Amino acid sequence: MKQLSPASRARYFRRQLVDRVMSGLCMVAAGVGLVLLGLILWMLFSNGIGGLKLSVFTNSMAQPGAEGGLANAIVGSLIQVGLGATIGAPLGMMVGVYLSEVGKESKFASVVRFVNDILLSAPSVLIGLFVYQIAVAPMGGFSGFAGALSLALIAMPIVARTTEDILRLVPQAYRDGAVALGSRENEVVRKVVLPAAFSGILTGVLLAVARIAGETAPLLFTSLGNTNWSTDLTQPMASLPIAIYRYAGSPYPEWVSLAWTGAMLITVGVLVLNILSRFSHAAVAGKSQG
Amino acid sequence: MTTPAAHRPLIGARRMHLGDTTFRISLFAAGALVIIVLFSILAIMFAGGKLAFDTFGLGFITGTEWNPVTQIYGALPAITGTLMTAILALLIAWPIGFGIAFFLTETCPVKLRGPLGVAVELLAAIPSIVYGMWGFFVLAPFMAEYVQPWLTSTFIWIPPIPDTFYWFTAPPIGVGLITASLILAIMILPFIAATTRDVLLSTPQLLKDGAYAMGATRWEALTGVVIPAVRGSLFGAVFLGLGRALGETMAVVFVIGNAIRMPDSLMAPSATIASVVANSFPEAEPGTLDLAVLLALGFILFVVSFGVLAIARLLLRQERMS
């Protein structure tokens, strides 16, 4: 430091100062962001935990004044999300396998990949409007099946993307080995590549389920919501997000309280699914290293 | 000595095999389905909205009046609300998101990086209706009570555009453009932070080491080496965030105020395309102009988000290849 001229010493300190100040600002940004988001979670739990009673799970939605719950909405969500994932996930897996194992860098595969990435972030409200036009309007009514269909369309690109990403991590030597043993193309994929990537694909499916479990907008146009108990897929069906939406805007305190409880349940569910998916992902990462 | 495997045909003949053929065809069909879905959405929205485009022509996009009683529909208020909330949200969320990303990749203690990174990703997974509810019950009253009066008195000096736009001078009712932008900003914040962090992490370590070897500070390494190297992807992350904000429905519908008219200030109650579609849908019967208008709005939103997302993907991909 002694050899430095005063000018370069000043410049050195100025550079250090800029670095410290900007790093500090970034730290403040991180703090602000995390505090803000922590605040949301805290509000959610402090408002939601009070309404958490057994009746939430045993009673259906009811008139204000009566002891209502969210049982029909929870079951409706489980049915629609389950069916949506059952339709959407296999289709997504097939797209992922196509992109990674068959199409690869071909022109058509590049277009599919590009379009899939766009569908991945397309506004979900438009998916709902689309399914309304192709399924609800022609069939003459809102239905749980239409709700599941809209959720399937949202799940498909998510599963496709994660499946492709994870299949690309399967070492090429696995495929070469299978081919050398005389396997056909479909056997290579079915018996070697897919089993090797199983937990990674499961991660994608779990993430997709977490995503569609919280989707509200598409269900407004498809399954509509239902205040009564109904498991009939051809009729309007209740769901947790729609119940939250309707109750949150209502003037009755007991409905608002149920909305908070429902929002808390859905958030806990989504976070648990995300954490589970992390475990199955960690399992894959561990295996491919070992 | 002849095992079944030895009888199997060689590569050339293999394509004739039934199992492989069905395998390929079904996978190809799944790939094609993705493209079919996208174009069906475009086609169905356009066909459904054609009545609105035919009735109002180009005036549908430039019209500022929205009146279900007289059946006059102009989409400009909703388009304006959509663009204003999304861009404002991005202006608020991007600097903070970038700060979080820089903090997570460079200055954060190594032990905290993993847990904080996971926390950010988990927060990105919270359903948007939860953000909407929080905005409605917590943020909007807070804005009305404290923030909006302060904004009005602080920015009173900004000259208004007479009869058009009064910036921060408006009654503090809590809901409106600025509250919706804030909620959107909070919602896309973890998303922007996570994608930006991934972009920053993708910078080759050698480049950074080179900068440090030249005596650069962390900030100089970032602005002089890392950012130029990943500029395209950084913009890609921004456009992805914009795409999210444009089409978001549930977080906005609670706090925008749902007034379909040209906003005359940043605090005015307004509407976005997504909120209009969600709110007006229950009153729109099939086959009427009311529903056609919503589908036409959906078509416009889809085209705009398609453009934004396509730019985002192209920018992100460029980087991935090089």
Q: What is the 3-state secondary structure (H, E, C) of chain B?
A: CCCHHHHCCCHHHHCCCHHHHHHHHHHHHHHHHHHHHHHHHHHHHHHHHHHHHHHHCCHHHHCCCEECCCCEECCHHHHHHHHHHHHHHHHHHHHHHHHHHHHHHHHCCHHHHHHHHHHHHHHCCCCHHHHHHHHHHHHHHHHHHHHHHHHHHHCCCCCCECCCECCCCCCCCCCCHHHHHHHHHHHHHHHHHHHHHHHHHCCCHHHHHHHHHCCCCHHHHHHHHHHHHHHHHHHHHHHHHHHHHHHCCHHHHCCCECCCCCCCCCCCCECCHHHHHHHHHHHCCCCCHHHHHHHHHHHHHHHHHHHHHHHHHHHHHHHHHC
CA distances from A14 to A21, A252, B209 (A): 10, 60, 22
> Whole-angstrom Cα distance, residue A281 to residue A272?
14
Q: Which domain holds residue B284?
A: 59-321
Neighboring chain B residues of A248 at a CB cutoff of 8 Å: 132-133, 136-137, 254
The answer to whether the Cβ–Cβ distance between A40 and B246 falls below 8 Å is no
B298 assigned to some structural domain: yes
| pLDDT at residue B17, rounded to an integer | 78
> Whole-angstrom Cα distance, residue B86 to residue B99?
20
Number of domains in chain B: 1
The answer to whether the Cβ–Cβ distance between A47 and B137 falls below 8 Å is yes
The answer to whether the Cβ–Cβ distance between B127 and A213 falls below 8 Å is yes
Task: Express each pLDDT in B264-320 by its tens digit.
Answer: 899 999 999 999 999 999 999 888 999 999 999 999 999 999 999 999 999 887 655
pLDDT in single tens digits along all 290 residues of chain A: 567 788 888 999 999 999 999 999 999 998 988 898 889 999 999 999 988 999 999 999 988 888 889 999 999 999 999 999 999 999 999 999 999 999 999 999 999 999 999 999 999 999 999 999 999 998 889 999 999 999 999 999 999 999 999 999 999 999 999 999 999 989 999 999 999 999 999 999 999 999 999 999 999 999 999 999 999 999 999 999 999 999 998 999 999 999 999 999 999 999 999 999 888 776 655 555 43
The answer to whether the Cβ–Cβ distance between A95 and B31 falls below 8 Å is yes
Task: Express each pLDDT in B56-115 by its tens digit.
Answer: 999 999 999 999 999 999 999 999 999 999 999 999 999 999 999 999 998 888 898 888
A40 touches chain B (CB under 8 A): yes
The answer to whether the Cβ–Cβ distance between A119 and B5 falls below 8 Å is no
A268 touches chain B (CB under 8 A): no
Interface test with B, best of A19, A28, A40 (most B CBs within 10 A): A40
For A122, name the nearest residue in chain B, comparing CA atoms only: B305
B88 assigned to some structural domain: yes
A218 touches chain B (CB under 8 A): no
Q: A25 to chain B nearest CA, in Å? A: 7
Neighboring chain B residues of A267 at a CB cutoff of 8 Å: 126-127, 130
| pLDDT at residue B167, rounded to an integer | 86
Q: What is the ipTM of this complex?
A: 0.91
Checking if the pLDDT of B146 tops 80, the result is yes
Task: Express each pLDDT in B208-253 by its tens digit.
Answer: 999 999 989 999 999 999 999 899 999 999 999 999 999 999 999 9
B48 assigned to some structural domain: no
B171 assigned to some structural domain: yes
For B24, name the nearest residue in chain A, comparing CA atoms only: A102
CATH number, domain of B273, equals: 1.10.3720.10
Closest CA to B251 of B148, B306, B181: B181
Full-model pTM: 0.92
Per-residue confidence band for B11, with pLDDT thresholds at 50, 70 and 90? low
